[in-house]
Structure 1
């Protein structure tokens, strides 16, 4: 136990890095989700084609391979990324591909009557999305976005393989220096669960806040 207490500050630093990776990657994933999701609904075929290529590539290849490519291969092509940047780009781009389908599906689920009403008011495409479609689709996006956020947090553990000292990397250090396996990995399991619980609470709060403003019944993240 004394050894674990000695290494506890290092575990806290690893937990903080995990939180930073999760939040930064989530921002990237959120932006990509809306850009690609809306592009998939474009009336221009080439915009839909580009969005589909991105979607299928990042959904159809391993996040670990993507991360290795960005960190180890891009320097050979003249572009060097820091471990943190390579990690957040790989995680953000990967989860963004899944999030884009959430955005597309939620917007397409808005009732046909709402679309027809927007057309009857002579709304432009921007006005239809800005004032009619997206506001009604956002409440439906929150629960699946919350689930993706948890998956993103768990995906950040892979960044330990590109030398980032996240929770998983710290546990491996403790195991290597002390030959203890149960204790460090049990502790990081609890820490990951604590972080996930905070993220679930945050998404539930966002969902409840939006639901109250719109007079809807909130849906909790599973």
Structure 2
């Protein structure tokens, strides 16, 4: 473990970049999930068609290929991005496509009778969605979005392939110099596991808050 201690600052720098990529890509993925999921539920084809194309394109192709395409191909067309921005966009876009199915499934899980009851109470469509449908769908989406955030965290290791010095990148460089694989990789796995535990804990906190809100309404 001496090697890990000697290179602790490099590993901490890698952890910081991994956290940056995870947080920003997760935020982007959730926003895109909501927009694409709602658009695919729309009756307006101008909203539904582009959302469907986006979801099928990014869900049906490899994240690694998307990452390489953005980093190596787009500059040939005059679009250059930093490795950090490229990694966040690729991971966020790909996972946003998967997340849109979470949103769509959660919205469909709310019974039609709920919407009909809201209309009977003289709510318009937007009020029925905001007051009746969305709070129920949010409770279903929360744990699934937690899983999505963990998938984003694991996918963040791919940014090491586009020269971004994240945790995986730093660990690989240390191993190349010292050829001491086991201690470094054990520490890296534990760090990823710790980040996943933090995400899971935050997700449970949000679930608990939403459950308390539901209990207050029921009372």
TM-score, reference length from structure 2:
0.95
Give 3-state SS (helix, strand or coil) of 1:61's partner.
Answer: coil
Aligned to 2:157: 157
Give per-residue Cα distances to partners, 1:142-196, cap 9 Å, x unaligned: 1111111111100000010001111100111101111111121111011101111
Q: Per the alignment, in what secondary structure is the counterpart of residue 31 of structure 2?
A: helix
Contact 2:175 2:181 survives alignment (8 Å): yes
Q: Report how far residue 12 of structure 1 moved.
A: 1.1
Asked if the contact 2:59/2:98 (under 8 Å) is kept, the reply is: yes
Structure 2 equivalent of residue 140 of structure 1 = 140
Counterpart in the other structure of 2:23: 23
Asked if residue 167 in structure 1 is aligned to residue 167 in structure 2, the reply is: yes
The alignment yields a C-alpha RMSD, in angstroms, of 1.3
The equivalent of 2:56 in structure 1 is 56
Alpha-carbon distance between aligned partners in 1 of 2:32 and 2:108, rounded to the nearest angstrom: 18
Q: Are the structure 2 counterparts of residues 77 and 122 from structure 1 closer, same or farther at C-alpha, using a change threshold of 3 Å?
A: farther
CA drift at 1:113: 1.4
> How do 1:57-136 residues align onto structure 2 when only pairs under 5 Å count?
57-136=57-136
Moved more, 55-64 or 1-10: 1-10
* Paired residue secondary structure (2:43): coil
Contact 2:114 2:132 in 1 (8 A): yes
Contact 2:119 2:125 in 1 (8 A): no
For 1:3 and 1:193, how far apart are their aligned partners in 2? 21
Q: What is the TM-score normalised by the length of structure 1?
A: 0.93
Unpaired runs of 5+ residues, structure 2, are none
Give the whole-Å Cα distance in 1 for the aligned partners of 2:127 and 2:187: 50
C-alpha displacement at 1:208, in angstroms?
0.9
2:3–2:184 Cα contact (<8 Å) kept:
no
Q: What is the distance in 2 between the residues matched to 1:147 and 1:111?
A: 24
